[in-house]
Chain A
Amino acid sequence: LSEFLQAHDHLSWLHDVQVKDYIKAQGTLKRLSAKETLSLAKKKTLLSLSKLTALACDEVPEAELEDINSELDVILHQEQLPKELVQKMELFNSEGDLPVIDPEQLIWLYISEKNTDANEFDFKKALDLLQYLPKDDDAKIDHLRLNVWCKAILKDDWSADRGTGVDPLEHYEDTVFFRTARLILESGADLEYYLPDVDALLTSDELKPLQGNANFQFILRAGYEQMERIVA
């Protein structure tokens, strides 16, 4: 039996667990999880087993553990996709399970127009996912980040005059844009990483319809200044 188990990657970890070679089992399980694309639940269990075998090692491989936790966090973000959105996009496979969706696709789903009830928590999740994109592609990360914020801004109608006063910003506190920014500030996350450059945002193609809206431009710049003061 043991020879047979060793010959097959998807079985060999069982043998490794039996003979207490946890580090080998951990590596195999992680490799299997990386290959799994059809079933989110299966990928999750492979990663969870990989985590438990890592913890069972005499010397816990910390870097591996960190990797596994990142992967599990991405899965959590997929599990938290709004139910309505998952149904609307027909993401379920025949077994009622979800196929594995990569971080970039998850970001697009969270900010998609199909996610009609998207709120600050959805946009924050989209931004959280940026850290799991391939690290060497800054241009793509910048592009995605900008897109998340454009979509957040476009959730609200900026054309109407909301009134003026000593603090014009207070009339915009409940916009998705400002609620998302506040959520990030409160979570203690690095706002500078999360926020795109204000000029890049204001001149982006997505926000073209708002470029002639002086009030919007003013409010957004004022909002940025206020956040910079809070962070500083």
Chain B
Amino acid sequence: PSSSLEAATSAEDRRKIEATDWLVFDPAQRAEALKQSNAIIRTFLATKKHDAAKEVFRKIPADSVDLIYRNWQAQAGRETLPAEDDNAIREYLCIQAYLNALDSFNDWFEHFHNKRPAEPLKPDNANFHEMVRFEHELREYELELERWRQGLASQSLGVKERIYNVLQFVDGGWMMDQRLDGEIDETRLQQMNGLRGLCLPMLCFLLHTVLHTTEQYRECLALADVIASEDHQLYKVFSRQELRQFLSKQSESSLHLLNQNLDPLGYELVS
């Protein structure tokens, strides 16, 4: 729906997507398949081909993580999973969190822009019947609008939660390996790092859009806390230009707060 976020899927991409079917064909090879499909999705995400990424992701059977653990236990007993497999599973979960966040943003966007009920027009020089019908339509409209608002509020909450799931991904952050005792794949690490720089600022901007559009201006300003925090060090994935853009967006939110007779951060004015 939000076409500006989406690049088209080419014939070449289609081939890669279809190839995933073969990757997951043999359950015994699932760990390898996950690494391969992660790699395919990484390149799709890097080129903003989210639909293609989603297609590949959907081809990975939902029980894959379980299966990889079981395969390994059957083979190696109680030993911990190899670092590469462990990291691949974590990466798969990172991808899932990201795709969920995008989906819920798209749903929100669709709801906000396309699902708002249309206000009935008051007819000119209406006769009695037309007026009765208009008032009936108006009442219907107000009910619909209220339903739409409630839907919007709950969708906004959902987007916020899913974007935060990515921004504050547990144990060291999104697309960051936890196990550092395996073989180092430089290309993979570079791609993951690149995706952090590409996707995390974008999600911050999307979250700001949701909060700003739904008039949660104080929360717009409090986003600074999340980005500046040393916990996840999100500020490090922002370029200087992006930081400046973000600050400018936040100051726009501030102006709305001033219009509500609050201070720039949305607190009561103390004189």
The answer to whether the Cβ of B265 comes within 8 Å of any Cβ in the partner chain is yes
A-B contact pairs, 16 of them (CB 8 A): A10-B263, A14-B254, A14-B264, A17-B248, A17-B251, A22-B244, A39-B267, A41-B222, A45-B222, A45-B224, A45-B225, A48-B228, A51-B224, A52-B228, A72-B229, A73-B230
Q: Which residues of the other chain, A, contact B222 by a CB distance below 8 angstroms?
A: 41, 45
> Would you call A11 and B264 a contact (CB within 8 A)?
yes
Nearest Cβ distance between residue A54 and chain B, in whole angstroms? 10
Report the contact-size class of chain B (Cβ under 8 Å from the partner): 20 to 34
Question: Contact flags (1/0) for B236-259 with A, using CB distance below 8 Å?
Answer: 001010011011101100110010
What residues of chain B have their CB less than 8 Å away from a CB belonging to chain A? 221-222, 224-225, 227-230, 235, 238, 240, 243-244, 246-248, 250-251, 254-255, 258, 263-265, 267, 270
State which of A18, A25, A38, A49 has its C-beta within 8 Å of the C-beta of B270: A38
**Does A162 make an interface contact (CB < 8 A)?**
no
Nearest CB of B to A65, in Å: 10
Distance in Å: Cβ of B48 to nearest Cβ of chain A: 26
Dominant SS among interface residues on chain B: helix
Given A55-B243, A72-B228: A46 and B265 interface contact (C-beta under 8 Å): yes
Q: What 1/0 flags go to A34-50 for Cβ under 8 Å of B?
A: 00001101101111110
Residues in chain A near residue B224, CB distance under 8 A: 45, 48-49, 51-52
Taking A14-B255, A55-B240, A69-B230 as contacts, is the C-beta distance between A49 and B250 under 8 angstroms?
A: yes
* A interface residues, how many (CB within 8 angstroms): 28
Answer whether A48 and B247 are a contact pair too, CB < 8 Å, given A10-B264, A14-B255, A38-B270.
no
Q: Which residues of B contact A22 (CB under 8 A)?
A: 244, 247
Q: Which of A53, A72, A73 contacts B247 (CB 8 A)?
A: A53
Q: A52-B246, A56-B244 are in contact. Are A42 and B267 (CB under 8 A)?
A: yes
Does A20 belong to the interface (CB within 8 Å)? Answer: yes
CB distance B228 to A20 under 8 Å?
no
Q: Which residues of A contact B267 (CB under 8 A)?
A: 39, 42
Measured between beta carbons, the chain B residues less than 8 angstroms from A38 are 270
Instruction: Give Cα A47–Cα B229 distance, bound, in whole angstroms.
Output: 10
* Set B230, B238, B240, B251: member contacting A14, Cβ < 8 A: B251
Return B267 CB to nearest CB of chain A, in Å. 5
Beyond the given A45-B224, A47-B228, A48-B229, could you list 19 further A-B residue pairs with CB under 8 A, ordered by the A residue number? A10-B263, A13-B264, A14-B254, A17-B247, A17-B248, A18-B248, A20-B244, A22-B247, A25-B247, A39-B267, A41-B222, A45-B221, A45-B222, A48-B225, A49-B224, A49-B250, A56-B240, A72-B230, A73-B230
Question: Nearest B residue to A13 by beta-carbon distance?
Answer: B264
Closest-by-CB residue of B relative to A46 is B265
Determine the distance from Cα of A17 to Cα of B221 in the docked complex, in whole angstroms: 14
B240, B246, B254, B265 interface centre (most CB from chain A within 10 Å): B265
Are B227 and A52 touching (Cβ within 8 A)?
A: yes
Give the distance to chain A from B240, nearest Cβ to Cβ, in Å: 6
Nearest-Cβ distance from residue A74 to partner chain B, whole angstroms: 13
Instruction: Compute how far the CA of A46 lies from the CA of B267 in the bound complex, rounded to whole angstroms.
Output: 12
Distance in Å: Cβ of A77 to nearest Cβ of chain B: 13
A residues 47-95 in Cβ contact with B at 8 Å: 47-49, 51-53, 55-56, 58, 69, 72-73
CB of B232, distance to nearest CB on chain A (Å) = 13
Alpha-carbon distance A164/B250, docked complex (angstroms)? 65
Question: Which 4 residue pairs of A and B lie closest in terms of their CB atoms, listed nearest first?
Answer: A48-B228, A48-B224, A51-B228, A56-B243
A1-42 vs B: 1/0 string, CB under 8 Å? 000000000110110011010100100000000000011011
Which one of B221, B247, B258, B270 contacts A56 once the chains associate, using CB atoms below 8 Å?
Answer: B247
Q: How far is the CB of A157 from chain B (nearest CB, A)?
A: 37
CA distance A69 to B265 in the complex (A): 20
CA distance A64 to B270 in the complex (A): 27
Contacts of B229 in A (CB 8 A): 48, 72
User: Closest approach, in angstroms, between the C-beta of B249 and any C-beta of chain A?
Assistant: 10
Q: Give the docked Cα–Cα distance between A125 and B116 (Å).
A: 51
